[in-house]
Structure 1
Amino acid sequence: MRRALLHEAPTILISVGEDFKSIVWKAQYDMDFNTECLFCFSERITGYRVEDELGRSGKVAVCPHCEKVNAIYA
C-alpha cells in the first residue's frame, strides 16, 4: 500500500497593517482590487505575490499610496 505525503508550503509571515517592504521581499504584481485602503482610504489596492529570503511565499494586497498591507489572500 502506498501512502501519499502531503506537504504544506511554508507561508510568509506578514501582518495586515504592516508597512510593505518591497526591498525585503521579492514582489511580483498579481492583480488590482477595486476597494478602498483600510488606512488612507485610497481608491485601489494592488495584489502581489511575495517571497522572502527563506523561500516562504504568499499573496498580499497593498495600498500603492501609503504602502501598508491591507489583506493576505490565497
Structure 2
Amino acid sequence: MQRSLSSLQHDLVPITINVGEDFKSIVWKAQYDMDFNTECLFCFSERITGYRVEDEAGHTGKVAVCPHCEKVNAIYA
C-alpha cells in the first residue's frame, strides 16, 4: 500500500511513504506527535506511535509507527 502526503508548502510536491516500510527517523527528521491505542499490523504489539516527519526538501507528513518492529503502520492527517 502506498499513499502520498501533500506538502504544506506552496509547491505541493508530495512525500511518498509506504505502509510496511522501515521507519527512517533520522532521514525523515521525525518528531513525536501522539500515541495510538491500536495494535501493530505487523508484529501485533498493542501500541503504535505517531510522528510528524519531514524530508530533506522540507516536505512534511504524519506516520504511525510501531515502536517494537519499527514499521510504518499508517499515514494520517
Question: TM-score, structure 2 length as denominator?
Answer: 0.82
Unaligned stretches of 5+ in structure 1? 1-6
Unaligned stretches of 5+ in structure 2? 1-9
Give the structure 2 partner of residue 4 of structure 1.
Answer: none
Over the aligned positions, Cα root-mean-square deviation in angstroms equals 1.2
Q: How far, CA to CA, are the matches of 2:74 and 2:54 in structure 1? A: 16
Q: How much has 1:11 moved relative to structure 2?
A: 3.1
Q: How far, CA to CA, are the matches of 2:23 and 2:44 in structure 1? A: 16
Q: Tell me the amino acid that sits aligned with residue 46 of structure 2.
A: E
Q: How far, CA to CA, are the matches of 1:59 and 1:69 in structure 2? A: 10
State yes or no: 1:55 paired with 2:58: yes
Q: How far, CA to CA, are the matches of 1:9 and 1:32 in structure 2? A: 28
Q: How much has 1:19 moved relative to structure 2?
A: 0.2
Give the structure 1 partner of residue 44 of structure 2.
Answer: 41
> 5, 15, 19: which is aligned to 2:18?
15
CA deviations on 1:39-64 (whole Å, 9 max, x unpaired) are 00001000000000011110000000
Q: How much has 1:12 moved relative to structure 2?
A: 1.7
Higher strand share: 2
Which SS does the other structure have where 1:39 is aligned? coil
> 19, 27, 31: which is aligned to 2:30?
27
Q: Tell me the amino acid that sits aligned with residue 15 of structure 2.
A: I
Larger Rg: 1
Question: TM-score, structure 1 length as denominator?
Answer: 0.86
Q: How far, CA to CA, are the matches of 1:15 and 1:26 in structure 2? A: 16
Which SS does the other structure have where 2:22 is aligned? coil
